[in-house]
Structure 1
Amino acid sequence: MKKYNVVDLFSGAGGLLEGFLQSGMYHPVASVEWEKAPIETLRHRLKTKWKISDADQSVIWFDMQRTEELFEGFTDEKFGYSFGLDFFAKNQTDVIIGGPPCQAYSQAGRTKDKYGMKNDYRNYLFEYYLKTVERYQPELFVFENVPGMLSAMPDGTPIVDLIRKDVNKINYEIVEDIKNHALINMSEYGVPQNRKRVILVGMKKTNTSSEEIQKKLIHFYDNILTKYKERNIKTVFDAIDDLPPLYPLKNEIFINGIGKQSHSLPKNLDPNWGHVARYQNSRDVEIFGLLTEDIYSGKNQFQKADKLNEIYNKATGGNSKVHKYHVLRKDMPSTTITAHLHKDGLRFIHYDPEQKRTLTVREAARLQSFPDDFEFLSTRGNQYKMIGNAVPPEFARRLSLAILELLEL
């Protein structure tokens, strides 16, 4: 059976691409990403796992906004040298996948920014994605983003209307009713995490009427993709409970190459694999124990926002109305894994009252459905960031199989 050539834009560490490759039905032609740590991780993964010999060249480290150079090749002081995307993708691209950075569309980002993210350049990165689609003319494209894009209006016009207009302009179509068809909760697709995302599939118009394309797209979302749902929702327990427990130490220790440790290390596991607790100070260890024991015992005295605010403000000496604590429930999917994990893990507290800690890198990766042999390079902070920004590979795998059916309709 034919393998379809796929180009991955805004690739990050390659979670979306990983799922497409796991299906066995796609070949990676090229990827583009502008942050260095994800580039190194993705190149390493493609070379070691998927035996892509030219990954150092075909995974392009560059800024998508510099489209002419990206397409035609460049020599740059920061990004080095590249043949350009044309060299890999022109006349041989079947599918383009990817999702521009979502911070400008997220509700949290708009709440924190005094201008509501209206002036953030990332609002319009979709334009560079679509320029690439227009240049390489794939049969389909897959565009992933946060639910906040459905309400984002940086210039007063809904961003989805701007995207639809530009998609139509380059002779493609996306589904009309995005909210009712393209808003997906990935927990329904084998990912142990409540993660809602907008998945836009764009189809080339060619000689098909808009009415026929809309019928195909609705059939895709309502009948094809739904076939790949999971009967049993996976929980946090399902994902991480078999990993060795990491308990608080009576006295902190310092380990060369790892740093200051407040928790035990797992035996017979390479620390580079990522199952090492980040350092937790004694105050946080005490609070984590209090919150997890409260749930474990069934008392639930500290689960309301006012009680959590009280604990947070007492600990920090502040007067915030927003606390940062959340204990993951073992018998439910995780809350959405985010890139904020690279700053702290207070919203991702392990459910075990004996461990009194936040998630390790490997636990976060498991909740994002990354396979255990996926190696995240760079610092621990960058690893958390890469994981939080990724599309869960298990959802991507199932999506890729549904896309395959759509391609072959």
Structure 2
Amino acid sequence: MNKKYNLVDLFAGCGGLLDGFLQTNKYNEVASVEWLKPQVNTLRNRLETKWKVKDASERVLHFDMQREEELFNGWNNDEKFGSSKGLDHFVKESGEVDIIIGGPPCQAYSLAGRVRDENNMENDYRNYLFEHYLNVVNRYKPKVFVFENVPGMLSAIPDGTLITDLIRSGFNSIGYDIVDDIKGLAQIDVSEYGVPQNRKRIILLGLNREYFKDTQEVIKKFYEQIIPKYKVEKKMTVKEAIGDLPKCKPIFDEESHKKKKSYEIPECSISWHKPRYHNIRDIRIFELLAEDLESGRNEYTNSKKLSELYEQKVGSKSPIHRYHVLRPDLPSTTIIAHLYKDGNRYIHYDSKQARTLTPREAARLQSFDDDFDFIGTQGNAYQMIGNAVPPKFARCLGNAIYEILSFE
């Protein structure tokens, strides 16, 4: 029996990264930390139902990573977060931590976030959440860590210093090395690993200098030889991922729309395959745009035409084009948490359905298994899915890191 390594998951979200690692059957979950309740409930449910973790309600700590003393030592009767024995308890119980995984919230590093914020996200506290990740690593001294984030972090300069330099020097000061060439080696497109979606992410592997002799040599081998072994020969397309799900038929009856019913939804044993409500105007727009591609006319495939259409149909101008139809024969565009606000950039390719993605379709494009349930509202589900690490890629990552751990 191969050795299983003990894992702690920080900023866990709904558990996409953790789920992939657990799928390898090579890791034990010691504890996870997440501060948003729907995500916590979803992760606890997944651990209990799929992975048979009986005390998941205790091992998934619902707490704020910034409150470190309580995070480590436990807290009682908190108005928002209840009570917990704290991370130290679960780490001591497990014996040691071999690996810490996670990624601080990416909004402050994302280019889109910086564009929307008048101060370029410079004052956003989320710029420095990595320091709390670092402090947990420093406390438990795992052999390796995995730090996941968006490519926007490469250019983020919250206080005049590149965030990547702050991260590198921070981990270096506590005895860990990361890759020198982050942009060249650590930027990974998960579509190359079987995820039906173009999604680039920064994956930082950190190595404890006490366990690895030549850290840079091992790190280089990881990025150039080990993780690439898990690439697929052919990328999965949108249609391959979601084409077999039951079709939802649009309703154009005004009376139904008054009751907020816009689609006939077939019975489906798979959870969350239900479109959000769309008004008749938007249904017609989706129908038009999908049919434009189906017919081969391709009249609305440039941003100028799409902006003109938006102004014509909606009656207001937009500096960015608001619509995008997913191409059935290609991987999806990047699924993001903005889906919880609207899905106009994720229009289904089938004009007869004239709608945006259901949560289950978004989940499939993120490579979640159909038995992965999301606990909360439809908006919660979209947000969780958009912020997650695709489990299929996480499984590849878990297998690759297992090889690294065998180098000890």
Q: Match of 2:250?
A: 248
Unaligned runs of 5+ in 1: none
Q: Is the 8 A contact 2:197 2:331 kept in 1?
A: yes
Instruction: State the distance in 2 between where 1:21 and 1:253 align.
Output: 48
Paired AA for residue 224 in structure 1: I
Instruction: State the distance in 2 between where 1:319 and 1:236 align.
Output: 30
Q: Match of 2:51?
A: 50
Q: Match of 1:262?
A: 262
Q: Against the structure 1 CA distance between its residues 253 and 138, is the aligned structure 2 distance closer, same or farther, given a 3 Å change threshold?
A: farther
Matches within 5 A, 1:53-72: 53-72=54-73
Instruction: State the distance in 1 between where 2:311 and 2:392 align.
Output: 39
2:143 is the counterpart of 1:145 = no
Q: Against the structure 1 CA distance between its residues 397 and 344, is the aligned structure 2 distance closer, same or farther, given a 3 Å change threshold?
A: same
- Residues 255-301 of structure 1: CA deviation (Å, up to 9, x unaligned): 9xxx722011112436xx10111111111111111111111111111
Matches within 5 A, 1:327-406: 327-406=325-404
Q: Is the 8 A contact 2:97 2:140 kept in 1?
A: yes
Q: Match of 1:11?
A: 12
Partner of 2:274: helix, strand, or coil? Answer: coil
Taking structure 1 as the reference length, the TM-score comes to 0.96
Matches within 5 A, 1:71-90: 71-75=72-76, 76-90=78-92
Q: Match of 1:118?
A: 122
Q: Is the 8 A contact 1:309 1:322 kept in 2?
A: yes
Shift of 1:207: 6.6
Q: Against the structure 1 CA distance between its residues 32 and 252, is the aligned structure 2 distance closer, same or farther, given a 3 Å change threshold?
A: farther
Shift of 1:303: 1.0
Q: Match of 1:191?
A: 195
- Residues 146-177 of structure 1: CA deviation (Å, up to 9, x unaligned): 00000000111100000000000110000100
Instruction: State the distance in 2 between where 1:267 and 1:131 align.
Output: 48
Q: Against the structure 1 CA distance between its residues 92 and 252, is the aligned structure 2 distance closer, same or farther, given a 3 Å change threshold?
A: farther
Q: Size of the alignment, in residue pairs?
A: 402
Q: Against the structure 1 CA distance between its residues 167 and 246, is the aligned structure 2 distance closer, same or farther, given a 3 Å change threshold?
A: same
Instruction: State the distance in 1 between where 2:318 and 2:342 align.
Output: 17
Instruction: State the distance in 2 between where 1:35 and 1:215 align.
Output: 38
Aligned-residue sequence identity (percent) comes to 59
Instruction: State the distance in 2 between where 1:129 and 1:252 align.
Output: 52
Paired AA for residue 135 in structure 1: R
Q: Match of 1:96?
A: 100
Instruction: State the distance in 1 between where 2:149 and 2:212 align.
Output: 27
- Residues 377-400 of structure 1: CA deviation (Å, up to 9, x unaligned): 110000000000100000000100
Q: Match of 1:282?
A: 280
Paired AA for residue 9 in structure 1: L
Q: Against the structure 1 CA distance between its residues 368 and 170, is the aligned structure 2 distance closer, same or farther, given a 3 Å change threshold?
A: same
Q: Match of 1:322?
A: 320
Q: Is the 8 A contact 2:9 2:101 kept in 1?
A: yes
Instruction: State the distance in 2 between where 1:167 and 1:253 align.
Output: 60
Taking structure 2 as the reference length, the TM-score comes to 0.97
Matches within 5 A, 1:12-27: 12-27=13-28
- Residues 338-380 of structure 1: CA deviation (Å, up to 9, x unaligned): 1000000000000001110000010000000000000101100
Instruction: State the distance in 2 between where 1:406 and 1:269 align.
Output: 40
- Comparing 84-93 with 363-372, greater Cα deviation is found at 84-93
Instruction: State the distance in 2 between where 1:253 and 1:176 align.
Output: 61
Instruction: State the distance in 2 between where 1:235 and 1:320 align.
Output: 30
Partner of 1:285: helix, strand, or coil? Answer: helix
- Comparing 318-327 with 337-346, greater Cα deviation is found at 318-327
Q: Is the 8 A contact 1:19 1:396 kept in 2?
A: yes
- Residues 324-348 of structure 1: CA deviation (Å, up to 9, x unaligned): 1000000000000010000000000
Instruction: State the distance in 1 between where 2:321 and 2:27 align.
Output: 44
Shift of 1:315: 2.1
Instruction: State the distance in 2 between where 1:97 and 1:156 align.
Output: 27
Shift of 1:252: 5.8
Q: Is the 8 A contact 1:252 1:260 kept in 2?
A: no
Paired AA for residue 384 in structure 1: Y
Q: Against the structure 1 CA distance between its residues 162 and 380, is the aligned structure 2 distance closer, same or farther, given a 3 Å change threshold?
A: same
2:296 is the counterpart of 1:298 = yes
Q: Match of 1:161?
A: 165
Q: Is the 8 A contact 1:5 1:93 kept in 2?
A: yes
Q: Is the 8 A contact 1:253 1:262 kept in 2?
A: no
Instruction: State the distance in 2 between where 1:161 and 1:353 align.
Output: 48
